[in-house]
Structure 1
């Protein structure tokens, strides 16, 4: 196991409501900041203590220089350490690649509940990557510019069109590009190979699967397969793209999640 410092950002509620803490797990090519703009203030205001992890090689955590050496199991180890720091079992909320991290952790770990937002489907990312390569080859050309901090006008346009809803202005993406990080080549390859990897146990805990109605990365039709595996409730947020926590309709996603959490 590679040794590195892992940062967990703690955001306690000003008026705790005695509810399970929420632990947010970011997806690929980003970091914990994606949760801190909208979702964490929203749930803090409802009385939830919120926590967000920077996985190895992302955000304020160590390991940036050797990020390509980290796989999904390493990220799951990061999450296990974060859960162990908390005073109570959290509800785990993962997004995109983060859903795979959460699932890897739950193969052995515990949680009060699980929320899988825009999840990587059980079939892996190969289908989505192939579809984007055929229909949007400019995405793969511009992704290195986005994570390197040297975007062009085309970078703003393409990233907005892939990750956000059609009504999202390209010019607003400048606010979100600093939330992007490089991703591990190893982790990316493992998500492609997902159908050939052994799946772990899925504990019998409350589960929610949520996706955007206009997600160009993992279309909402894919949510069924993840929900089936977890026997989960499914929510599709209309007019929302892949980045449910940042897109213009993010309040709809937050309110739907809050409604589900209220029944735990």
Structure 2
């Protein structure tokens, strides 16, 4: 009992030290914040009350084909499409936007699938687009598929890239998001904000994260890494990220995906640990599509690391979708 008592005292002391240290670190960050200035080639539109950052790549050779709207995933911004979008704009207008809470879009809760779907519909309306094809990357696939389920007349088709649009992990198809209790503890103030702030203040950790998901072809020079960091270094950037991370992952259920009637195409990367060939095959059965393309040797951010190969993979899918 004496040892248990001592262990409890030591543990309590460690908790106090961690909490105090985190609070002091955040106080110091408020006094000496890091701000990164990056080029912002986009504009802002009002998407159902959410000031939304949008970028546009006009078609080089207009063909009358449906425009393409690109939806980034968790902790991503329009910069993830910076090398892909110009290639896709060969024969159609291409647009990308920052989902609420990310990038240079306003930090406007709630951070829910319904609200994110409203925003996508609002972007399409604000840009006066007629039945675009929507490509959602990673978690962005959930938003694209959600709009297709809610309003099939709003889109011509959906491409789910490196994500199946559901909130599940692995073989467990019942527990949305996973790890809720631990995730809540790790994201609560002051520890969560202190850890994330410490990461984004420095290029090294961000560079390592990007390299691990992107592969050898990924741009990881200082300017490219600053484009990743900049949104999180703006006021409220870390807070909104943690508010989103604290919730279960957004996504449709398997049964909801089975009710989608809009044409869907699927792209996966062989070395993507979050969405592999088996996941793509299972999703293809749910949405009843033969349009499945894999990228051998590619990782989760192949669209950024290997844009030419990614473009070649989805070009036939875009043709089939309209």
SS in 1 for 2:76: coil
2:134 touches 2:158 (CA, 8 Å); kept in 1?
Answer: yes
Q: How many residues align?
A: 245
Is 2:208 the counterpart of 1:157? yes
Q: Deviation of residue 96 (structure 1)?
A: 0.6
Q: Deviation of residue 60 (structure 1)?
A: 2.7
Q: Which residue number in structure 2 is paired with residue 40 of structure 1?
A: 85
Correspondent of 1:191 among 230, 249, 262? 249
Gap change, CA 1:176 and 1:234, over 3 Å in 2:
farther
Q: Deviation of residue 154 (structure 1)?
A: 4.6
* Equivalent-residue separation in structure 2 for 1:256 and 1:193 (angstroms): 25
The CA deviation string for residues 180-232 of structure 1, in whole angstroms up to 9 with x for no partner, is: 5553634663327865x973674323211101111133333211222221112
Is 2:256 the counterpart of 1:204? no
SS in 2 for 1:261: helix
* Equivalent-residue separation in structure 2 for 1:185 and 1:222 (angstroms): 28
Q: Which residue number in structure 2 is paired with residue 137 of structure 1?
A: none
Correspondent of 2:96 among 52, 63, 66? 52
TM-score, normalising length: structure 1? 0.78
* Equivalent-residue separation in structure 1 for 2:122 and 2:129 (angstroms): 13
* Equivalent-residue separation in structure 1 for 2:275 and 2:226 (angstroms): 20
TM-score, normalising length: structure 2? 0.65
The CA deviation string for residues 72-94 of structure 1, in whole angstroms up to 9 with x for no partner, is: 21111100111223332100100
5+ residue gaps in structure 1? 134-139
Correspondent of 2:271 among 187, 207, 214? 214
Q: Deviation of residue 41 (structure 1)?
A: 0.7
Q: Counterparts of 1:134-149 in structure 2 under 5 Å?
A: 144=196, 149=200
Is 2:149 the counterpart of 1:107? yes
Aligned Cα root-mean-square deviation (Å): 3.4
2:142 touches 2:250 (CA, 8 Å); kept in 1?
Answer: no
2:269 touches 2:299 (CA, 8 Å); kept in 1?
Answer: yes
* Equivalent-residue separation in structure 2 for 1:87 and 1:122 (angstroms): 26
The CA deviation string for residues 129-178 of structure 1, in whole angstroms up to 9 with x for no partner, is: 77xx9xxxxxx9xx8368x63235354334422x123x457954861452
The CA deviation string for residues 87-125 of structure 1, in whole angstroms up to 9 with x for no partner, is: 321001000110111122222122111100001464614
* Equivalent-residue separation in structure 1 for 2:67 and 2:219 (angstroms): 34
Gap change, CA 1:188 and 1:225, over 3 Å in 2:
farther
Q: Which has the higher helix share?
A: 2
